[in-house]
Chains A and B, each alone.
Chain A
């Protein structure tokens, strides 16, 4: 009998331990946030508690633990700025941030989407405001700025409303942007000098670019640093843009036969032509983006089309300690420059891709938690304040109403060159790939090696992608 009891107890312990494992994911948050005197949030939302509604800025009873996911990680220029800002906010408020930031790529986007689907989304999210955000906006998992303002009227009032992009789902504004971005062409001037090529300027065309690439190749260097088998995104964007105009670039073709569809096909064929001319690295189909970027910074490849976030990566490559700006080799950095992407047809070189494509979201999960609501709002207000935003925006644009004057002395040489380059920009258009999300991309992004090697016809690849897009 005694043995039966022991056996039953052991079995019970096994069952309990399994149950405990199942519950463990909810435990820390609940333990960290549970307070007996929760604010009367629901009644305030319903308009039934006037007192609660009049005190929107009420602070939670105790320290709060916020889960925050951003793209400020890895080689992102603002990774360190973000860490510093979070630390300052934690010291100021006594709250803590569980940071789940990661480098922005397709896996990260998938992770965020899955987190929302499974109910494990963060409290605050810094994420894209294009088609990537559609799924969680459609599911009503984040709050619009207007909805937050019903309780916190001052929320994001320091931002220029016209510069905050609306959602593709309903046109409402959800994400408060911090820093804008631009995409342009970085240049290793040392290679240009060695090959006898002049620094490209505002009237740079694809014909001039091809001629320069030929000289660079003849001098024994790789003209273009790009991993077509890994990150063809920038060339994809500009190759298509070069066959359109700023007015039509954001129109997704209805079919491969229409004008825009043909422009997309021409763009793919332009990349194929550059590949066949041997302007990409020998291992462009098997290399990672990191490898081709290293070729650029190591003085083996001349041109790199990338985004404003890459400024930090280039500067980091010129520091003996990438974490310590005081170790910057200024002479090495001076060899890098940034200019416009060669133009073609209706697109001038100075018509670049850029904008405010990301911002801070507050999730409904945090909003509905009486302890986290105020902390989440406070966190976003802090991160988007007039004091913090300039540190993130640096040489790129921001949506601040009162953007402070930029003092060039505070920047390194490449940042100053970026500011000078941006001064000559004639138009900034959003990236069409931000609207073209999901498996529709596969045939022309992951399929780029097949297109440039001629195994798949550009027409078929574009048609397949457009079919997938229109069937979503």
Chain B
């Protein structure tokens, strides 16, 4: 009788069905409805679609001709590279360094992880103050160092850097914690044997830590790249409406802009479909590149 319950899968179904229905109701139905809405004319958010657009695929034609769409895709791809190098790369370096110290590991873990617990909106406001044109901390520091002219950190040429820096900084700690947990799982015996064989610290990192961290790094990379597709709140707080000159739009912020600001809801729906397609394609590519190895 005891083993019989593992053969009978019906109770499992009872648990799965509510979750399945929940997903259908709150994810798949809205998603397919969104696809439908992208072909319709919707006057404003919340109102039902009045009729089909003329032609029905006009929003998708507009997407192709909309310069801001290409800007937002370009910025999102840059964001992916930045998160990959900036977040995962820095996290690897920090994790390897902290793993090699004897005391204070917990302290550094807490310090590096802390930005994760602050809301992105609060961080956006914080960095807004840091990069403020007049009386901002960064400009005050530069002034103290002898710079006579104020720097507009949100000007067109530099805005992308100003936007991506805090995004990068915020998530370093997240990957740092994952990586340091991965490092803790590597047996000390390997390092000890390497030391007996005369390996330096750098050689231990190169030939033991990094190869054995490969799968963890792959997981972090996939998370970072797919996470970059969803970044929204911090960029929107710092650069609403793609300011300046619509140069800082990401795919998510551009979709929100059309849905919530310009009341062009059906075009926002079409952009949402584009984001999903982009997400699926990029996830596939990233999963192929960062395929985990079997040891």
Query: Could you tell me which A residues sit within 8 Å of B by CB distance?
Result: 3-4, 7-8, 10-11, 14-15, 18, 106-107, 110, 113-118, 135, 229-230, 282-283, 285-288, 291, 294-295, 298, 300, 438-439, 442, 446, 449-450, 453, 455, 472
How long is the Cα–Cα vector from A288 to B154 in the complex, in angstroms?
11
How long is the Cα–Cα vector from A449 to B241 in the complex, in angstroms?
12
How long is the Cα–Cα vector from A288 to B240 in the complex, in angstroms?
9
Cβ–Cβ contact B245 & A295, under 8 A: no
How long is the Cα–Cα vector from A14 to B21 in the complex, in angstroms?
11
24 contacts between A and B (CB under 8 A): A7-B15, A11-B17, A11-B18, A14-B15, A106-B261, A107-B260, A107-B261, A110-B260, A117-B44, A118-B46, A135-B44, A229-B241, A229-B243, A283-B154, A283-B155, A288-B240, A291-B132, A291-B134, A439-B264, A446-B241, A446-B261, A449-B243, A449-B246, A450-B245
Which A-B residue pairs are the 7 nearest by beta carbons?
A: A117-B46, A286-B154, A286-B244, A7-B11, A114-B46, A285-B244, A283-B152
At the interface, yes or no: B14 with Cβ under 8 Å from chain A? yes
Cβ–Cβ contact B133 & A287, under 8 A: yes
At the interface, yes or no: B263 with Cβ under 8 Å from chain A? yes
How long is the Cα–Cα vector from A131 to B11 in the complex, in angstroms?
57
Chain B 1-26 interface 0/1 with A at a Cβ cutoff of 8 Å (1 = within): 00001000011001101110010000
Cβ–Cβ contact B14 & A8, under 8 A: yes
Which residues of A sit under 8 angstroms from B5, Cβ to Cβ? 3
A-B contact count (CB 8 A): 99
Task: Give min CB distance, A15 to chain B, whole Å.
Answer: 5
How long is the Cα–Cα vector from A93 to B19 in the complex, in angstroms?
46
How long is the Cα–Cα vector from A294 to B132 in the complex, in angstroms?
11
Nearest residue (CB) in B for A116 is B46
Task: Give min CB distance, B202 to chain A, whole Å.
Answer: 44
Which residues of B sit under 8 angstroms from A288, Cβ to Cβ? 240
How long is the Cα–Cα vector from A397 to B171 in the complex, in angstroms?
52
Nearest residue (CB) in A for B132 is A291
At the interface, yes or no: B119 with Cβ under 8 Å from chain A? no
How long is the Cα–Cα vector from A229 to B152 in the complex, in angstroms?
14
Cβ–Cβ contact B134 & A295, under 8 A: yes
Cβ–Cβ contact B15 & A11, under 8 A: yes
How long is the Cα–Cα vector from A3 to B246 in the complex, in angstroms?
59
How long is the Cα–Cα vector from A294 to B262 in the complex, in angstroms?
28
Chain B 44-79 interface 0/1 with A at a Cβ cutoff of 8 Å (1 = within): 111100000000000000000000000000000000
Cβ–Cβ contact A286 & B243, under 8 A: yes
Which residues of B sit under 8 angstroms from A300, Cβ to Cβ? 134
Cβ–Cβ contact A7 & B14, under 8 A: yes
How long is the Cα–Cα vector from A115 to B46 in the complex, in angstroms?
8
Q: Is the interface of B mostly helix, strand, loop or mixed?
A: loop
Find residues 96-115 in chain B having any chain A CB closer than 8 Å to their own CB.
none
At the interface, yes or no: B159 with Cβ under 8 Å from chain A? yes
Task: Give min CB distance, B150 to chain A, whole Å.
Answer: 7
Cβ–Cβ contact B245 & A453, under 8 A: yes
Which residues of A sit under 8 angstroms from B44, Cβ to Cβ? 110, 113-114, 117, 135, 438
How long is the Cα–Cα vector from A136 to B72 in the complex, in angstroms?
34
* With A113-B45, A116-B46: A229-B134 Cβ-Cβ less than 8 Å: no
Which residues of B sit under 8 angstroms from A110, Cβ to Cβ? 44-45, 260-261, 263
Interface size class of B (residues with CB under 8 A): 20 to 34
* With A18-B22, A117-B45, A286-B159: A449-B245 Cβ-Cβ less than 8 Å: yes
* With A113-B45, A282-B150: A4-B11 Cβ-Cβ less than 8 Å: yes
Which residues of B sit under 8 angstroms from A438, Cβ to Cβ? 44, 263
How long is the Cα–Cα vector from A18 to B26 in the complex, in angstroms?
11
How long is the Cα–Cα vector from A300 to B133 in the complex, in angstroms?
13
How long is the Cα–Cα vector from A115 to B47 in the complex, in angstroms?
10
Taking A14-B19, A114-B44, A115-B46 as given, write out 9 further A-B residue pairs in contact, using a Cβ cutoff of 8 Å, ordered by the A residue number. Answer: A3-B5, A7-B14, A110-B45, A110-B263, A135-B47, A230-B243, A286-B155, A291-B133, A450-B246
Task: Give min CB distance, B5 to chain A, whole Å.
Answer: 6
Task: Give min CB distance, A471 to chain B, whole Å.
Answer: 10
Nearest residue (CB) in B for A109 is B263
Nearest residue (CB) in A for B136 is A291
How long is the Cα–Cα vector from A426 to B24 in the complex, in angstroms?
62
How long is the Cα–Cα vector from A247 to B10 in the complex, in angstroms?
77
Task: Give min CB distance, A293 to chain B, whole Å.
Answer: 11
Partner of B152, one of A8, A15, A282, A439: A282
Which residues of B sit under 8 angstroms from A291, Cβ to Cβ? 132-134
Task: Give min CB distance, B140 to chain A, whole Å.
Answer: 14
Nearest residue (CB) in A for B158 is A286
Chain B 134-149 interface 0/1 with A at a Cβ cutoff of 8 Å (1 = within): 1000000000000000
Cβ–Cβ contact B244 & A229, under 8 A: yes
Which residues of B sit under 8 angstroms from A118, Cβ to Cβ? 46
How long is the Cα–Cα vector from A288 to B156 in the complex, in angstroms?
15
How long is the Cα–Cα vector from A453 to B47 in the complex, in angstroms?
36
How long is the Cα–Cα vector from A355 to B53 in the complex, in angstroms?
38
Task: Give min CB distance, A397 to chain B, whole Å.
Answer: 31
Which residues of A sit under 8 angstroms from B243, Cβ to Cβ? 229-230, 285-286, 449
Which residues of B sit under 8 angstroms from A455, Cβ to Cβ? 245
How long is the Cα–Cα vector from A118 to B243 in the complex, in angstroms?
31
Which residues of A sit under 8 angstroms from B22, Cβ to Cβ? 18
B10, B15, B46 interface centre (most CB from chain A within 10 Å): B46
Which residues of A sit under 8 angstroms from B241, Cβ to Cβ? 229-230, 446
Cβ–Cβ contact B46 & A113, under 8 A: yes
How long is the Cα–Cα vector from A230 to B239 in the complex, in angstroms?
10
Chain B 234-268 interface 0/1 with A at a Cβ cutoff of 8 Å (1 = within): 00000011011110000000000000111110000
How long is the Cα–Cα vector from A298 to B15 in the complex, in angstroms?
62
Cβ–Cβ contact B244 & A446, under 8 A: no
Nearest residue (CB) in B for A437 is B263
How long is the Cα–Cα vector from A10 to B13 in the complex, in angstroms?
12
Nearest residue (CB) in B for A107 is B260
Partner of A114, one of B18, B45, B134: B45
Chain B 109-137 interface 0/1 with A at a Cβ cutoff of 8 Å (1 = within): 00000000000000000000000111000
Find residues 138-197 in chain B having any chain A CB closer than 8 Å to their own CB.
150, 152, 154-156, 159
How long is the Cα–Cα vector from A287 to B246 in the complex, in angstroms?
13
Cβ–Cβ contact B47 & A117, under 8 A: yes
How long is the Cα–Cα vector from A448 to B243 in the complex, in angstroms?
11
Cβ–Cβ contact A10 & B15, under 8 A: yes
Task: Give min CB distance, B37 to chain A, whole Å.
Answer: 14
How long is the Cα–Cα vector from A14 to B22 in the complex, in angstroms?
10
Which residues of B sit under 8 angstroms from A287, Cβ to Cβ? 133, 154
Cβ–Cβ contact A15 & B18, under 8 A: yes
How long is the Cα–Cα vector from A92 to B150 in the complex, in angstroms?
54
Nearest residue (CB) in B for A443 is B262
* With A117-B44, A229-B245, A295-B134: A11-B260 Cβ-Cβ less than 8 Å: no
Task: Give min CB distance, B276 to chain A, whole Å.
Answer: 23
How long is the Cα–Cα vector from A44 to B45 in the complex, in angstroms?
35
Which residues of A sit under 8 angstroms from B263, Cβ to Cβ? 110, 438-439
Which residues of A sit under 8 angstroms from B46, Cβ to Cβ? 113-118
How long is the Cα–Cα vector from A351 to B3 in the complex, in angstroms?
89
